[in-house]
Every structure is written in C-alpha cells, then in structure tokens.
Structure 1
Amino acid sequence: MKLVSHYKENRSTNAPQIINWRKNNLGESLYYSYRATHYNRATFPSRLHCHDYFELVIFESGDIHYICESATYQPHMGDVLLIPPGMFHMSAIRCDKTSYKRHVFYLYPDALDAFGCSELTSFLKLQRSGLTVFSLEEQVKTELFTLLLKLDKALELGQDPSYEALAIGLVIQVFFFLNKGVFAPGQRCTPLPETLAAIKKYIDDNFREISSANEVASHFFYSREYVSRLFRKHFNTTVYEYIKARRISYCQGLIAQGCSISEACYQSGFENMSTFIRSFRSIAGMTPSEYRKALAKKA
C-alpha cells in the first residue's frame, strides 16, 4: 500500500515557501523527507488528522507545538516524536511566523523487513495509546543528525542505484539509534484546555451517533458558534470534518477486520453509501474498495 499517496496528492496548492521538501519512498512501507518551511499563521496547513501508519518526527527547529489526541507538546531540538496509527494529531504554529525544520518518517511496522532488519522497528511497540516523545542524549543527538544529513544528501543525488543503496544503509543506522533505548521518554506533555478536551472526548465517544455541531453544542449548553470557533482555533478544522474523519478512521479499522463495505458504512455512522464513499475518498485518497484491495495486497 502506498502509505503517502493521499498526502502527496492532496497537499494544498497554496503552499508556503518551501526551502527543502523532497519526497522519498523507500519501498512500499517507508517514506522519508526533510522539511524546512517558512510559515505564518495564514499559511500553516496542518489540521487534526490521522492515518493507518506510524509517523516519526525528529524535530530540528521552529516555534511549533504538537497536539495528539488530548495532549499537547512543545518540542525541543533533537526530540523524537512517535505518533501511532489511528491517533488524531496535528502541529500548530505558536507565533506570527517561523521557520519549521524537521525530519519525517512515515512507516508501517514491516518497513525494514525487506532489508532483514525487522528487529529495528521493535521500538514502535513501546506505546500505542498516544504521543511518545523521546529526548536524546547529546552525543546520540549529534550522531543522529549527522546520519540524517548524510541521508538527505544521498537522496538529493537522485535515483542512482548506488545512492539508493547508501540511503537504505543510512536509514538502517538511524533506526539502530532509535531502537537502542539510549534515551528516556520525555515528560513535558500537557493536557488540552479543559473545555476543549471535554468537547473532544464527547465527540470521540459518540461520533457514530452525533449528527451535527448543534448536537454537540446543545449537550454542553454552548452556542454552535462558540463550539465551532473553539474547534477552528485549536484544531484548524470544523466539528463536522472531525466527526467525518473519526468515522472514516473507524471504518478503516472495520474493513481491516474483514467487515463488508456496507457494514463498515452503517456501523461507522453514515446514513447512505454515496455520502460514505465520497467522504472516504476525500480523507483516504481512495475508495473503500480500493482500500480493501490495498490491504489485501499488503497482507
């Protein structure tokens, strides 16, 4: 399954100034990019979303904070952030403008199997319930960034097989460091604001039954405008879009478990197939049938 096909095809055409953003698929289960981007509040593109693969971010610089489910985290240079599949998350700018630099890996647990290094992804199993942050020791941090610089340089040199082999070797070394346990989990995550966390939890618990933002607002005796404004401010999305994304994520899990597409549709809270298929395509980048075939191909 091409794990980043939707991400690559649907990135906004009104993109901010990108200094360096190369996309590199290293097989079907691993993607890497180094991203250095100038952002301001108007151009920052992130919104609350999830996917069915791991996202691993090695943070370099930028006045940014991350939101994952009900926790927020402000990263420091060299922090490693691991976001498991199915976790709703986003990054958000904390100032008027910033230069945001990070190394990003998207991967499935079998990403290194083809290279005989499956044990190097075992650290992915450390935590599956939310954001995991690792703060590296200074020596390890220096060595890791040296490897990442070499990796980006190797990929910059093109598709020559020798450089591709070099890149794969460097990726294996990067994951060797990440897997060795020479760093301790960070403890600087903080909860979302209480009101926002309560609203989000209510939606998370009832997304299959909730029909509109009005229903959410009524439950808390707030106005629809207040709830919508709160969601837009913190998550850069609407209540409706978040409910839809939650349903599609749940539906993907059902399809992976063997449910029929029609069963997955109605169990996820959709009232008809046409709306469901349209919503699925807009979020997953493919139809439910195509998604099921991709899962079968990957199995």
Structure 2
Amino acid sequence: MNEIQLEKISFDPGKSFKYFSPRLRNTFFWHFHAEYELVYVEADAGIRHVGSHISGYTKSDLVFIGRNLPHLNFDYRLRSDYHQIVIQLRTDFLGSAIALSPEFTSIDQLFKKAAGGIAFHGETKAIVVEKLKQMAELNSFQQLIRLIEIFHLLAGSEETEILNDEEINLSFFLRDKLRMGAIYEYIDANYNQKPDVNIVAAKVNLTTPAFCRYFKKQANMTFTDFVNQYRIDLAKNLLMQDKNVTEACYAVGFDSLSYFNKLFNKITGQNPSVFKKNWFNNFQPDLPLVKTIRQVVN
C-alpha cells in the first residue's frame, strides 16, 4: 500500500496488554495506532524510523512509542537472524490510575514523553531487556506487575534519547499521515534506483513544482537532499555490518564512489572508511547513534 496504515490491534479477553514477537522483515510497515508500544529488537543493524526521526541501531534497540506516532517496523530489511519483543497497551491501560495515583506520577510523565518516542540505552536497557525476556514464563497477573516495574525503571532513567522533540512535527503527522506515508514508502522502495520526483509527486496528486514546495516546507530540505541522507544512513548500517565502502556505495544507489565519499563526509563529518574504522575500534553497543535525519515540519 502506498500510504501509512492504521494498525488495528486486538487483545485477548481479560488482557490489558499484548506481549508478542512479530516477524515482518520483508514488509515495509509504516503505520500508527492508538495504543502505546514498547519495542525491543536484537539484530546486527537495523533502521529506527519513528515520527520524523530516522537513524540506525546496532546489536539492539529499546524504544517506547506514544499513541498515534507513525513508525516503521524495527525488523524491516533485517537479513540475519533476529529476536523481537513488542508490548502494546490498551488505550485504557490501568484505567485512570496512572494519571491519578501519586505512586504512578513518574510513569505518567514517561507516557507523556512517549509522544515523541523514547530510545533507551546503557544499564537501563540491559536490565529492562532481561525483565522483558522473563515475562514469557509468567502468568498474566505476574506479567502485569513486571510491566509496571519496567515502566517504573524506564521512568526513572536518564539513559534516554527523545526521538522527536518538537510537538509541531507530531501534529503534522497526525494531519497528513497518508501523504507522507506514500512519500516515505516510495523513497524506501526506490532509493537505490534514482527516485524520480515527478513520479512521487504524481503519487500524492501534486504537480512537481507544488510537491517540491510542499516537501521543502515539511522536511526543511529538498527531496533530493532527503533521499541522499536516507541513502547515507543505509550505507552507515551496511558499513557497520562490515561491508566494504564500494559495496555500500553501490548498494544504496550511488554510481560514483568519489561522489559517495564526498557526500558521506559532508553529512557525517568523516569519510566512510574512517567511519567504519572508528566504529569497529570504538564500538559501544549501548550508546545511541546520532540522528542522521531530522525533519522540521511546519
């Protein structure tokens, strides 16, 4: 589908949350839902695309996603084996207790911050991941208690990264989910084949000049610049998977190695060979990657 999808989530009778391990790596599932979602994934390297934030993750990722915040499935394009745990909460999870009970004040604040998406790292991630994995062996009531413990830990952590820190970005996505979803899906499907601005403009029912104005206003960059940054981010993931520079260059759609090196250096501040060397010399799996694409939506 060439549009963002509304995921309709069903829950088992008597359950206020859903605990499962989806596998969608061959599907571009750019979607949103009314429920909060906690996602953990173990993989060599993948793409984190939440709201207007696009970046890479390596080894593992732990993200708490707020209501109606568009995001891509975290296992998209994963080629090696991986493990994923997803917890989705009913919209009335714990009823009014979170907002009214003093004991839940910090958790209430966590849920509000999740409107922009929150990534966790360091010791917080390690402890929470262990608790998430243990939940599979617990009964429903024990799982609920464990989940509250997890949210309490996350609420008190400073090992966090807010993925979308401008509320205006999120309000835009709520207004224009379908159009931006179509644009993102087209870019993802064609980034290595020279995406044509005329084609994507037609897909969203705009003339090419109108589309260029629209996209520049929403993304604060041209369509070409956005595609190039998307390519460079994918190239970074390939380099972190030990692909060589030439392989990464051609895999993401560049015809010229010299131009790829120049653009990579412009966007990241270092050439791809240095980036790869530094990554493997200084790799610390629990440090969040620097965001490589920040849309500013007006």
Shorter-chain TM-score category?
A: 0.3 to 0.5
Q: TM-score when scaled to structure 1?
A: 0.46
Question: What is the TM-score of this pair, normalised by structure 2?
Answer: 0.46
Using CA pairs below 8 Å that are at least 6 residues apart, which structure has the higher relative contact order? 2
